[in-house]
Amino acid sequence: MKVNIIALDEAKAARDLDPQMAEWWHMIGKYMGRIRRINARSDCVDKEEIKVLEKAIELDSYNPRYRVFLAQVYRECAAAAFFKFKNQINFNTDELGNYIKQLNQKSLDLCLQSIEAMPHCSKTLIRCAFGILKLPKQFNIKHLNIAEKAIIKSLEINPNDEYVQHVAGLFYRKDGEFQNLEKALYHFEKASEMKYFPSSLDLMRLKCYLNPDHDPYADLMKLNTVYIEEYARIQLTCHIGSY
């Protein structure tokens, strides 16, 4: 946390010295997002975070990396607002409901633009595919085929990246016409072999789903020897206790 706060202050200082440099605006938004996610994931996104990322694109509209980050923040802002106010407003008529829809649409548009602009960049492809996957059904249902193609291309470019394998697993695990549990199992296993903790947990859950008689205790105890980080140990202890 402290490192991100220092980096944010330095990025702001650089921006003040050279306000026409898009990278400084982008870095400010990037570090604001990191601090926000550490502090409280459910909180709504500060408007300032969105504004600085939009400013970066205004100054350099040809940088797909800026679009990818802004797409993520649009989606996170829409999701946070939805969960915070879903029981208080009518999303079909309320102004906030329309704003949330606009954010989701903007996120989708930026993801699609970035995939088209960077068809050979594994990092861009997989982040945009994940972004499309995480959008509400009404926004992503017509574009999941594009997300799948982006995932397949990303796997071709960088098959040894644990995050790429993980997103592939998430895609094929998702309910719907693209669901393929064998593929999901394969990709979760690959990412887990690379010691990607989220995939190890998703692999365990999928095994239990495919075989209701599967006892995950042995899997959890094995993971407890693989992952020594505190955050992982806490989650594993909770899972061991629940099973």
Instruction: Please give the pLDDT value at position 155.
Output: 98
Tens-place pLDDT, residues 6-60: 999 999 999 999 999 999 999 999 999 999 988 865 567 899 999 999 999 999 9
Rounded percentage of the chain residues whose pLDDT exceeds 90: 80
Tens-place pLDDT, residues 150-178: 999 999 999 999 999 999 999 999 999 99
Mean pLDDT lowest among 108-112, 121-125, 234-238:
234-238
Mean pLDDT lowest among 16-25, 107-116, 195-204, 212-221:
212-221
CA dist list (Å): 228 to 5, 34, 40, 84, 204: 26, 23, 24, 34, 18
More confident residue, 87 or 143: 143
Mean pLDDT lowest among 76-90, 169-183, 206-220:
76-90
Averaged confidence pLDDT in the chain: 94
Q: What is the mean pLDDT of residues 121-135?
A: 98
Q: What is the pTM of this model?
A: 0.91
For residue 85, the Cα-to-chain-centroid distance in whole angstroms is: 22
Question: Which one, of 173, 66, 179, lies nearest residue 117 by Cα?
Answer: 66
Instruction: Please give the pLDDT value at position 58.
Output: 97
Q: What is the mean pLDDT of residues 129-143?
A: 97
Instruction: Please give the pLDDT value at position 43.
Output: 65
User: Which H/E stretch holds residue 86?
Assistant: none
SS3 content of the chain, % helix, strand, coil (to 5): 75, 0, 25
Give me the residue label for tokens 């921006």.
Answer: 15
- Let me know: does 166 contact 183? Beta carbons within 8 Å: no
Residues 6+ apart with CB under 8 A from 1: 35, 38
